[in-house]
Structure 1
Amino acid sequence: MISKSLLAATAGLTLSLVLASSAGAADSVVGGNLAKSCAQSVFDGARDDAALQLCTQAIATDLLSNRDLARTYINRGVLQLRRKAYDRALADFDRAATLAPDMGEAFVNQGAALIAQRRYDLAVNAIDRGLALGASSPERAYYNRALANLHLDNLQAAYGDLIKASQLAPDWDVPRRELAKFPTDWA
């Protein structure tokens, strides 16, 4: 049972959504010049109309394998997330998951979109599936799942996910900063 003092101490704990695997999806596209440019735009942090149009053109015109088409949908979905177009992002991640149901990044990014929509239970389920499939950036998946668990008032799970994110990426200071917000006697 979680004590009231712990709940009070962690009430101010706020995490920011981290795009789970945009870099993992972005640098994996093999075929199609537009798809490669789309991936590079995402990797470079783009969020503008030109990058979105580039990805849309790649989906419509590049001759891509199902996996590369799924990666391109993921990349466009990441752009949509950055633009706060959460329904569109989720639709792209859903399409990617249909094309490549073994691609963990599709599910982890679904989880990110669901968090943005405040659909935390579904987000945890999607991230769980992505982790089980071997997402390429598991530390980000654990971090995002911590965010969902925090909103579900599941502080133990949130804490455990932050620990795991810190262990997987010891040089990434974001999870460590969030862990520092928990009381020192928490464990």
Structure 2
Amino acid sequence: MRFLISLAALAIIAPASAAAQSVVTIGTSQARGCYEAAMSGTSRASTGLALCEAALAQDALSRRDRTATEVNMGILLMRDGRTHEALAAYDRAINLFPGLGEAWLNRGIARMQERDYAAAEADFTRSLELNVREAHKAYYHRALALDARELYPEAYADFQQALELEPGWNLPLRELERYEVVRAPVNG
């Protein structure tokens, strides 16, 4: 079985649309359907969730495939407005395979939804330490968490890093426009 990481759009944080990391497994039709539902911004979450649950009920899934399916199920639960259940799915994914940066990134997004900004920041940082595939999204979301905690210099630096990694990306660009950079007075 192959283990691939792909992107799924998931609008969570207003006004910026957050992008979650979907994880694909190729091996069972239910796991594949779960992934495709997480990738699709148009499909009904309930249909995808049924596929995820069916895939997880199978004993034949490898640990990595089970982890990927839990992440994809979390994305669908978030899309369905079931943040607490999504957090539980991400926790299960992290317990199964702690080295998957995408699980940490998605859990951070869910924690942002819960307004648990310090925990979200820690999850985004961990995803970066694990070399999450699309690091620009982790920097962007960590910047949002830092901004919410009024840690403006750190937030500004992360918005800049997100833009450096993904030039032309409108979301960090819009956020950076809110900041005014001034020189600190020189003591002396």
TM range (shorter): 0.7 to 0.9
Q: Does 1:77 align with 2:66?
A: no
The answer to whether the Cα contact below 8 Å between 1:16 and 1:147 also exists between their aligned partners in 2 is no
- List per-residue Cα deviations over 1:109-156 (Å, max 9, x = no partner): 111111111111111111111110111121111111111111111111
**5+ residue gaps, structure 1:** 1-13
The answer to whether the Cα contact below 8 Å between 1:149 and 1:155 also exists between their aligned partners in 2 is yes
- List per-residue Cα deviations over 1:54-86 (Å, max 9, x = no partner): 111111126211111101100000111122211
RMSD between superposed Cα atoms in Å: 1.9
* TM-score (norm. length: structure 2): 0.83
Q: Does 1:170 align with 2:167?
A: yes
**5+ residue gaps, structure 2:** 1-13
Moved more, 62-71 or 139-148: 62-71
The answer to whether the Cα contact below 8 Å between 2:45 and 2:77 also exists between their aligned partners in 1 is no
Tell me which protein shows more strand as a share of its residues. Answer: 2
1:1-187 matches, cutoff 5 A = 16=16, 18-22=18-22, 25=23, 28-45=24-41, 46-61=43-58, 63-183=60-180, 185=182
Give the C-alpha shift of residue 15 in structure 1. Answer: 5.4
Q: How many residues align?
A: 170
The answer to whether the Cα contact below 8 Å between 1:29 and 1:36 also exists between their aligned partners in 2 is yes
Give the C-alpha shift of residue 171 in structure 1. Answer: 3.5
Q: Which has the higher contact order (CA 8 A, sep 6+)?
A: 1
* TM-score (norm. length: structure 1): 0.84
